[in-house]
Amino acid sequence: MPDDSVKPMDYKQAGVDIEAGERAVREIKNKVRSTFNGNVLSELGSFGGLYRIDDAWQKPILVSSTDGVGTKLLIAIQAEVLNTVGQDLVNHCVNDILVQGAKPLFFLDYIGVGKLDVTNIAQIIDGFVDACKENSCALIGGEMAEMPGLYKAKDFDLAGTIVGMVEADNLLPRQNIKAGDVLIGLPSSGLHTNGYSLARKVLFERMNLKIDSYIEELSSTLAECLLKIHLSYLSTVSSYLTDAGFKAMAHITGGGISGNLKRILPPGISAEIDFSKHIIPPIFHIIRKGGKISEQVMRQTFNLGIGMICVMSQDLATKFMIEQRALYLGELVGGLALPEVRFK
């Protein structure tokens, strides 16, 4: 029999604050709207985002990708710096479709939290908004889910989906990749969004460092180094995407240089990487030494200071390296049936 003395429950008592969610939407609405362009036909809060494809496209191909930030979020939570991980996520997604020649049209986010804090949500959204503006990308929708049974109070998770467009004639990688093409590296800002589980294990458990430890070799605190924003390479390569000599790109994420470069190499073509002139940033040396990590594991786990590798003709490579802050990394070679990446 029901106990009449027991007060009735509501959703807030179960840990979900609907009013806080509504306040969060009101707080971020104008910020999100600032990323809109004339092709956005919907308002924040609609069941779906509407985006019009303008008439400038001749043979358009949609390119989409979904990703997260991984355990870099734990660093952000520890450091109480929440406005950069949104930028990380947008830029990561932009790069993932950029390697197919696509420029971003719109982005959608997902935020799962243990307890909805309006101030924290606003900081995360600030990161999304800043990066979307920098990449000329509209933030047309998203989802905030308060799930106290799944996340601890201060915990949260992020995921993002991006949709971009490329003309069919400019789709990458191109079919004209061949032996003798040059590998050009674009520097990363640090770990970007990969390898943080191993980095945290080494830095915090093996080396007993703290999030606010000042590291002389880094000229910064550990938090400042580990939270450096994942770079977007859209502005760097945008003007080269229609050049037939610009043939492919590999976004260096999980799997490192070898794992990601192999994804774009055609049968019979391999890559030879020459690191002799590349200065690996100090954070990677600290992690390697502190964890006694083998060179092979470091290469499989981290970008080692290279965020994107571009494959291009020798003629274009000379021009590209003069015009951009880019590094010669090696060349493509023939002779093997299955693509390999070899380090000199």
Model pLDDT, residue 58:
94
| Whether residue 11 has pLDDT greater than 60 | no
- Give the span between the Cα atoms of 317 and 327, in whole angstroms: 10
Instruction: State the Cα torsion 274-279-282-286 to the nearest 10°.
Output: 30
Model pLDDT, residue 276:
84
| Whether residue 333 has pLDDT greater than 90 | yes
Residue % of the chain over a pLDDT of 90: 81
**Mind listing the domains of the chain with CATH numbers?**
18-170 (3.30.1330.10), 182-343 (3.90.650.10)
Start-end of H helices in 99-221 = 118-134, 196-200
- Give the span between the Cα atoms of 274 and 328, in whole angstroms: 8
pLDDT tier for residue 201 given thresholds of 50, 70 and 90:
very high
Contacts of 284 (CB under 8 A, 6+ apart): 298, 302, 304, 305
Tokens of 184: 């050009």
- Give the span between the Cα atoms of 10 and 17, in whole angstroms: 10
| Whether residue 187 has pLDDT greater than 80 | yes
Q: What is the pLDDT of residues 15-73, one digit of tens each?
A: 666 676 677 777 788 889 999 999 999 988 788 999 999 888 999 999 999 999 999 99
Contact 305, 187 (CB under 8 A): yes
Model pLDDT, residue 12:
66
What's the whole-model pTM score? 0.93
pLDDT tier for residue 10 given thresholds of 50, 70 and 90:
low
Q: What is the pLDDT of residues 282-328, one digit of tens each?
A: 999 999 999 999 999 999 999 999 999 999 999 999 999 999 989 99
Mean predicted confidence (pLDDT) in 199-219: 97
Neighbours of 275 (CB within 10 A): 18
pLDDT tier for residue 4 given thresholds of 50, 70 and 90:
low
pLDDT tier for residue 192 given thresholds of 50, 70 and 90:
very high
For residue 280, report the phi and psi dihedrals to the nearest 5 degrees. -70, 130
Q: What is the pLDDT of residues 151-175, one digit of tens each?
A: 888 899 999 999 999 999 999 999 9
Average pLDDT, the chain: 93
Contacts of 247 (CB under 8 A, 6+ apart): 172, 173, 174, 176, 177, 181, 311, 312, 313
